[in-house]
Each structure stands twice: as structure tokens, then as C-alpha cells.
Amino acid sequence: MVKILGISGSPRPKGNTIHLISKALDAAEELGAEAELISLHNVKISPCIACNNCKKTGKCIIDDDMMEILEKVENADGLIIGSPVYFGTMSAQLKIFVDRSRPLRSRFALSETVAGAIAVGASRNGGQETTISSIHEFLFIQDAIVVGDGAPSAHYGGTGYGTDLHDCEIDEFGLDTAKALGRRVTNLAIKLNK
């Protein structure tokens, strides 16, 4: 059974980003995957201090929740990473996660991991593609296998629209792209793990 890990970079414990990631993970579970969601809103992660210890030892010297999260990331067969749009890019919570993932990069630990991205903007064309692109850049540099949501929409990934807390619950297009992303990540992870 493949493991698919969702990571929400939203500061909200419940809201649009978590909703779409959850729908992507539901689609993964329908295909037989084991799914888990980590919300960065309630974990303790400090910013990277550029000490380069991770480059030398593969471990971070900061004592917080990040090493436990990185262990889950490294053991996943697939990743679905989501963020609300903040000025055309990812949230601060997700950026800290990205910067602190350097221990994985030192070993190219994600080179066999299938990954995709979800973003929620305040309008239909509210920076979702640029936010997803910034997540993709992180994944490419980590040497992950990056996929979008695929046919029939074939976008960068899951693209939701929402200004209020629960708008994505009725955003059919956003829901469809999130579910399609969950299926694509899972199907490819299953093929790679046969």
C-alpha cells in the first residue's frame, strides 16, 4: 500500500486549503492508498538559520517539530502540498517548511516521491498558478516527480477559489482539480512501487 502525505501551509486549522487537500487525500484513499494530513498551523517550526549542519550531518540542529515531519515526508510515496495564495506565492508557514527541508535535499531523499500542489486564491485567477509554481520549484529542487491534475483540465494542480472560510466546499472546479491531483499522485506512486 502506498502512503500519500498531505501538507497544508494554511494558518487556518479549518478552511479552504485543508478542505481541498482533504478531498485530494480522499481520492487517494479510494485508490487504496494510506493517507495522512499534516497541518502546519499547529506545529512548532522555526525558520532556517543557515548553519549548514544539515549539509554536513543530514540533520537539523533546531529542536522543534520539523525532523518528525521530515521523517513522514521521506517515508511517503506521494506528497500533496497546499497553500493559500499570499501575494502571488506560498504562505509563510509553508515557506518555513520548504526552507527547513534542507536535510532531505542533502541526500535527494525525495527523488522517488511523486508530488503535486494545490493553491487557493481569492478569485478564480488569484495567483493559484504562481503559488503552485513556487511549490513546484521546491519539489523540482528536491528531485521529486512532479505532476499536475491531468486531463481533462490539465492545470498545474488543484486550483481553488475562496474568499470566505468554506467557499471551496462549493467550488466544483476546485474540488474536481484537487481530486484529480490526488488520483494522479496516487496512480503514479502505485506504478512506481510495484
Residue 105 Ramachandran class (φ > 0 left, ψ -120 to 50 alpha, else beta): alpha
The type of residue at 28 is: A
C-alpha grid cell, residue 90: 506560498
169 pLDDT band, cuts 50/70/90, is confident
For position 109, what pLDDT does the model report? 96
Say if residue 115's pLDDT is above 90: yes
- The β-bridge partners of 38 are 7
Residue 27: what are its φ and ψ, rounded to 5°?
A: -65, -35
Q: What is the mean pLDDT of residues 53-73?
A: 93
Residue 91 burial (CB count, 10 A): 24
> What pLDDT, on a 0 to 100 scale, did the predictor assign at position 124?
86
Rounded CA-CA distance 80/37 in Å is 9
Q: What is the DSSP string of 47-111?
A: PP----HHHHHSS--S-SSHHHHHHHHHH-SEEEEEEE-BTTB--HHHHHHHHTTHHHHTTTTTT
Arithmetic mean of pLDDT over the chain: 94
Q: What's this model's pTM, rounded to 2 decimal places?
A: 0.95
d(CA 123, CA 29): 29
Residue 119: exposed, middle, or buried by beta-carbon count in 10 A (0-12, 13-18, 19+)? buried
What the chain holds in terms of domains, given with CATH numbers, is 3-192 (3.40.50.360)
